[in-house]
């Protein structure tokens, strides 16, 4: 197992499908003071909208269908993202569904706290852990696969 230290100032990815962008924007606006204490990242349009509407600095990647989800996933692997807030649309198929599934899989593999809806985001961001250092535990699945049964 590998332990990855999350600093007090977290690196937070904000992602939303088109039908959930308004919901995420409302949540970010409500939590602007808290989020302003951290580094924010976002996929294309979502990150731009958040930045324009709240004046919070957001480093943006490509839009989801153009590889933004994959860029966020690669940043998780590299240790450059600590938390994921992804308001996805469970009722509409997306052209990049495999990328979405890959991002969610990477978030679980790398023990990234993830919120997929407002209630979970509220619980996550009211935790005392958001204001403290924290060590995530990443399981070495490669070692597990090499075991003989």
Non-local CB neighbours of 11 within 8 Å, separated by 6+ positions = 38, 39, 41, 75, 80, 81, 82, 83
Beta carbons of 141 and 111 less than 8 angstroms apart? no
DSSP track, 12-43: EEEEE-GGGHHHHHHHHHHTHHHHTTSEEEE-
Terminal CA-to-CA distance of the chain, rounded, Å? 20
Strand, helix or coil for residue 96: coil
> Given 18, 23, 69, 80, which residue is catalytic?
69
Please indicate whether residue 23 is annotated as part of the active site: no
Catalytic residue IDs: 69
């Amino acid at each position: 197992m590998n332990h990855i230290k999350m600093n007090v100032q977290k690196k937070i990815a904000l992602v939303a499908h088109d039908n959930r962008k308004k919901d995420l924007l409302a949540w970010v606006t409500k939590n602007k003071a808290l989020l302003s204490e951290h580094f924010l990242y976002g996929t294309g349009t979502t990150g731009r909208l958040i930045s324009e509407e709240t004046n919070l600095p957001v480093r943006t990647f490509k839009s989801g269908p153009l590889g933004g989800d994959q860029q966020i996933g690669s940043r998780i692997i590299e240790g450059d993202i600590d938390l994921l807030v992804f308001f996805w649309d469970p009722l509409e198929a997306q052209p990049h569904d495999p990328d979405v599934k890959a991002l969610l899989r990477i978030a679980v593999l790398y023990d990234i706290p993830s919120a997929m809806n407002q209630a979970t985001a509220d619980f996550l961001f009211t935790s005392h852990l958001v204001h403290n250092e924290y060590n995530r535990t990443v399981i070495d699945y490669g070692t597990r696969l090499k075991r003989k049964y």
